[in-house]
Amino acid sequence: MSDDRDQAGTDDNLDANNDEELLDNEEFFVVDLDEDADKATGDNTEDEDETDGVGSDDEGDILDEVDSDEEFHASTDAEDQGAVNFPVTTVETDDEPDANLVPDAVTTIEILNLLEIERPLAPPTQWPKPAIQPELSRVPRWFDGIRITAPLITLSLLMGSTFLMFVGIEPTPRWLLLFAAIIAILGTDGILRDAWPRPFRRVRDRADTTPYLFLPAMLAVTIPLLIEHNIRGYFVVTAALLGTVLFTAVLAAQVTSVRVAAPAYPLARFVATGGAYFVAFALISLSYVLELNLLPALITAMIIGTMLGIEIFREGQVDPSETLIFAAVTGLVLAEVRWTLYFIPVGGYLAGLTLLLAFFLVSGMLHSHLTRHLNRIVAAEYVVIAAAGIVLVALASQLGLA
């Protein structure tokens, strides 16, 4: 029994010695956090370093590796995020580092202030996106700026009623033509002053509405006369309605063309110029249909050329007297061409087309000169178009097409 007790005591002593050896070995792997904190603040003493024994040197090496990894990851994250490189508090070791490599401690308030100053803006993808309008709701640029007002619609309806009365009443009341012309002049003047109060109502440098009134007045006379001499039956109603649409388009073009900088200005001038050529062709052709004598025909051609010339030359107008002179020259040339055609066996709409080509050539050349666009190429274009038109008129006359 004594041997067994001695053997048990010996085993207990061996177990105790093994436990002490295990504890001594675990010192290499267990790191006291409180002791690390004391080392980080510099409060640890040399006596505590000596009590660590042999494991203190190895533990210092491990802490050096941990510190270097923490500094590397901190600097890498700061560079990747574009933030400020904040000072990183390191754990002190036996070897005292260089004072220049250890930054000053930064308080929490200072870090928050730096974050507030250096906080990056939200990426563009997080900004509120404007509402996208559907494509069908967008107005094309050419139609941007067209002025359609209530007075304009009212005048158009009144002119449409006048056209229907002229072509529908028998016998035709001729005074309706004079009434339509007066209403067109007064109505257009009021619409222009209502749509553009500044240029037409100011005290100084007041613009004049007179150049804008000739085309609507002449169109109000041309449409019913053209319907009366060319259309029969119930088609006159459809023709009168189409004439009302044409008058409305020309009137809107006149009102829109007041503002030269409007995106719809080129379209407005195109419609107005087309309306002027249409009126010139219709009225000059009607002078042949009505079989006017030479002197009244010459006066009619000169008046038509002058009034429509004012409409053409008001674009780029510098001096009203200059515009009036150019328009008078155009009317005079048109009268001379009409006098020449009196001795040529050409009549009706072919003669009206010939006079239209002459009006196109003269007014186009003078308008290009007025707007400083006249050169050899532009002049050649007008001459070629006019010459080609005259050749077609001659061929049509020889073939008896009109």
Tokens in use for 214?
């000739």
Note the pLDDT of residue 27: 42
Note the pLDDT of residue 195: 85
Query: What's the CA gap between 300 and 304, in Å, rounded?
Result: 6
Note the pLDDT of residue 28: 41
Q: In this structure, are residues 71 and 89 in contact, taking their beta carbons and an 8 Å threshold? A: no
Note the pLDDT of residue 148: 82
For the chain (length 402 residues), average pLDDT per consecutive 10?
48 51 44 45 46 46 49 47 46 47 50 52 51 49 71 93 90 89 94 83 70 93 92 90 95 89 87 93 89 90 93 80 91 93 83 92 90 90 93 84 66
Query: What's the CA gap between 379 and 362, in Å, rounded?
Result: 10
DSSP 156-190: HHHHHHHHHHHHHSSS--THHHHHHHHHHHHHHHH
Note the pLDDT of residue 381: 93
Quote the radius of gyration of the chain (alpha carbons, Å).
49
pTM higher than 0.85 for the full model? Answer: no
Strands (E), 237-353: none
Note the pLDDT of residue 402: 61
Note the pLDDT of residue 113: 57
